[in-house]
């Protein structure tokens, strides 16, 4: 969340003629303050987890003194400064309490006692503290305010996942007026914005879910408005280009993680997102130079809370694999469809097909604009894998011209091993 503090200070000092106006303003501030304190305490819990793994004590006296000095320096009046120090002294004590309680709950002794009393079986061969955290993982804990820029198939699907698994998360969406009106009417989002910059300022997580080239433009647009408390993730199915752009941009301390949800449909738009199957789907993340370990960890846990499986890869490895498992498959489907169309086969004759063709036919219905952008962004890897495929098809053609089918048999064996490895 990003705050325009100077604007808020001006608003606070405006004279009010009605008691109700002052109280209404206080109510707004209370909600804002409570949201920020909640986020602060959640971060303190994560720090507590890190301290446990590193065997560090909960109390860091020097760190707490620095925090109190910074807080006192914010105040414009000595009396208010003392009040702020008192408030933060209580808050710091509460933070220590959370960390100490976490240590007690996740200690082997406490886990063994819980196991004995409740009848639950806990595998102590694994990190018991990590197990406990996985069982109580709540997406809202990590990102209470999420902005999704682009409420189409992927953005809409992510919004539905958040609504299902974390209903209290505040979702802001950026799209056209008609799309936003539908989403608001459905209760899918809480806030609607036509401009990305303002919406991004108010969220702890910003998801770029527009077409490939547009996501790069959006990242460049919102970069000046970002702050150190924020994380930006994109959903483009190529990763090297946008990660390289993020590396060069000044994000004002915000983190960026490349992302690719491995679910979707040949259809597009918000309405199509209601039919996308996501249970247990993989969400690939590609950390870049502006991806802190803490942000990567928090985002992985957030994904797990949404029922997704985070898989980490480098941008280069992602694009090499996706060129073969996704981009080439789409190109094969389109090439096959175009080839059949050139043969002037009748509609009735086209009914003569099996389930394998039906799967490819589904991909033939994909919209070209997005795929052309993806092909261009990953053209080196795609061209390489096209050449590999052409070699195998040429080999198959040669085998068919002879009585020897040894190489074709080997292809079947290799293909079978790939299929088994991917399942």
**Long-range contacts from 367-375, C-beta under 8 angstroms, 24+ separation:** 367/268, 369/211, 370/211, 370/212, 370/268, 371/327, 371/330, 371/334, 373/211, 373/212, 373/213, 374/212, 374/236, 374/237, 374/238, 374/327, 375/327, 375/331
Highest mean pLDDT among 121-125, 299-303, 403-407, 419-423: 299-303
The reported pLDDT for the residue numbered 103 is 56
Residue 61 has pLDDT above 90, yes or no: no
d(CA 259, CA 418): 24
Chain-centroid distance of CA 379 in Å reads 25
Confidence grade of residue 229 (pLDDT, cut at 50, 70, 90): confident
Could you tell me which residues come within 8 angstroms of residue 150 by beta carbon, excluding any fewer than 6 positions away? 174, 175, 208, 209, 210, 211, 214, 215, 218
205 three-class SS: strand
Residue 104: per-residue pLDDT: 55
Q: Are 203 and 190 in contact (CB under 8 A)?
A: no
| CA atoms of 287 and 311, how far apart (whole Å) | 11
* pLDDT tops 80 at residue 12: no
Residue 40's φ and ψ, nearest 5 degrees, are: -65, -45
Neighbours of 17 (CB within 10 A): 7
Is the CB of residue 206 less than 8 Å from the CB of residue 232? yes
Of 40, 29, 30, residue with least CA distance to 92 = 40
Q: Six-digit token pair at 419? A: 């299929």
Q: With 70 as the cut, is the pLDDT of residue 14 above it? A: no
Spatial separation of the C-alpha atoms in residues 408 and 410, rounded to whole Å: 5
H-state helical runs in 166-239? 177-186, 196-201, 212-222
101 falls in which pLDDT band (50, 70, 90)?
confident
Mean pLDDT of all residues in 130-142:
59
Place of tokens 């595998």: 123
Q: Checking DSSP bridges between strand 145-149 and strand 231-234, what pairing results, if any?
A: unpaired
Domains in the chain: boundaries: 5-135, 139-313, 319-422
- pLDDT (tens digit, 9 = 90+) per residue, 75-95? 888 888 888 888 988 888 888
Give pLDDT tens digits for 168-221: 999 999 999 999 999 999 999 999 999 898 888 889 999 999 999 999 999 999
CA 356 to chain centre: 32
Angstrom distance (rounded) from CA 344 to CA 366: 21
Contact between 130 and 114 under an 8 Å Cβ cutoff? The reply is no
Average pLDDT over residues 36-49: 81
Q: Which of 13-22, 127-136, 158-167 has the lowest mean pLDDT?
A: 127-136
Q: Which CATH superfamily is domain 319-422 in?
A: 6-phosphogluconate dehydrogenase C-terminal like domain (1.10.3660.10)
Query: Is the pLDDT at 5 greater than 50, yes or no?
Result: no
Q: Tell me the C-alpha distance between 150 and 171, whole Å.
A: 12
Mean pLDDT of 99-106: 63
What CA–CA distances, in Å, run from 255 to 52, 205, 288, 304, 310? 25, 10, 9, 20, 18
pLDDT (tens digit per residue) in 278-298: 888 999 999 999 998 889 999
Mean pLDDT across the chain: 83
CA-to-CA distance for 209 and 152, rounded, in angstroms? Answer: 8
pLDDT at 414 over 50: yes
| Pairing of the two strands 255-261 and 282-287 | antiparallel
Name the 3-class secondary structure at 55: coil
Q: What is the per-residue pLDDT for 407?
A: 86
Domain 5-135 homologous superfamily, CATH: Chorismate mutase (1.20.59.10)
Over 50: is that where the pLDDT of 7 sits?
no
Q: What is the pLDDT of residue 404?
A: 80
Instruction: Using the predicted structure, report yes or no on whether residue 132 has a pLDDT greater than 50.
Output: no
In this prediction, residues 121-137 reach a mean pLDDT of 40
| HEC profile of 271-329 | HHHHHCCCCCCEEEEEECCCCCHHHHHHHHHHHHHCCCEEEECCHHHHHHHHHHHHHHH
Give pLDDT, residue 237.
92
CATH number of 139-313: 3.40.50.720
Rounded Cα–Cα distance for residues 218 and 221 (Å): 5
pLDDT (mean) for 375-389: 93
Q: How far apart are CA 2 and CA 204, in angstroms?
A: 8
* Cα gap 258→240, rounded to integer Å: 9
Question: What's the order of all strands across the beta sheet hosting 309-312?
Answer: 191-193, 170-174, 145-149, 205-208, 231-234, 255-261, 282-287, 309-312
Q: Has residue 380 got a pLDDT over 90?
A: yes
The mean pLDDT of 17-33, rounded to a whole number, is 77
pLDDT at residue 328 is higher than 90: yes
Helix (H, G, I), strand (E, B) or coil at 221: helix
pLDDT of residue 102: 67
Cα(172)–Cα(157) distance, rounded to whole angstroms? 14
205-208/145-149 β-pairing: parallel
Identify the helix (H) or strand (E) that includes residue 232.
strand 231-234
End-to-end Cα distance, the chain: 40
């Amino acid at each position: 969340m990003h705050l325009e503090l100077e604007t808020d200070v001006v608003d606070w000092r405006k004279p009010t003629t009605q008691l109700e106006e002052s109280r209404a303003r206080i109510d707004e501030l209370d909600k804002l303050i409570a949201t920020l304190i909640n986020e602060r305490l959640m971060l303190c819990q994560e720090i507590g987890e890190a301290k446990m793994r590193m065997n560090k004590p909960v109390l860091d006296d020097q760190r707490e003194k620095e925090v109190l000095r910074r807080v006192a320096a914010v105040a414009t009046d000595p009396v208010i400064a003392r009040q702020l120090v008192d408030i933060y002294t209580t808050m710091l004590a509460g933070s220590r309490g959370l960390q100490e309680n976490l240590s007690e709950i996740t200690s082997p002794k406490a886990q063994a006692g819980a196991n004995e009393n409740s009848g639950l079986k806990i595998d102590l061969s694994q990190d018991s503290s990590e197990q406990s955290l996985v069982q109580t993982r709540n997406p809202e804990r990590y990102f209470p305010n999420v902005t999704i820029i682009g409420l189409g198939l992927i953005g809409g699907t992510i919004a539905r996942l958040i609504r299902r698994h974390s209903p209290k998360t505040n979702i802001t969406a950026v799209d056209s007026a008609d799309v936003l009106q539908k989403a608001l009417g459905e209760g899918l989002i809480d806030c609607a914005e036509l401009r990305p910059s303002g919406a991004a300022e108010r969220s702890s997580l910003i998801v770029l879910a527009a077409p490939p080239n547009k996501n790069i433009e959006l990242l460049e647009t919102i970069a000046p408005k970002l702050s150190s408390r924020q994380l930006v993730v994109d959903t483009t199915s190529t990763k090297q280009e946008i990660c390289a752009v993020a590396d060069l941009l000044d994000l004002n301390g915000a983190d960026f993680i490349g992302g690719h949800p491995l679910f979707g449909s040949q259809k597009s738009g918000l309405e199509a997102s209601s039919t996308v199957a996501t249970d247990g789907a993989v969400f690939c993340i590609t950390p870049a130079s502006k991806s802190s370990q803490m942000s990567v960890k928090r985002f992985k846990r957030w994904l797990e809370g949404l029922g997704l499986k985070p898989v980490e890869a480098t941008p280069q490895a992602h694009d090499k694999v996706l060129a073969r498992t996704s981009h080439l498959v789409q190109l094969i489907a389109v090439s096959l469809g175009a080839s059949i169309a050139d043969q002037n086969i009748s509609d009735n004759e086209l009914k003569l097909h099996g389930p394998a063709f039906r799967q490819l036919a589904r991909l033939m219905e994909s919209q070209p604009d997005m795929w052309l952008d993806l092909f261009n962004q990953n053209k080196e890897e795609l061209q390489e894998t096209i050449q590999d495929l052409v070699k195998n098809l040429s080999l198959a053609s040669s085998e068919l011209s002879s009585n020897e089918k040894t190489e074709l048999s080997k292809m079947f064996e290799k293909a079978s091993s790939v299929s088994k490895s991917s399942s």
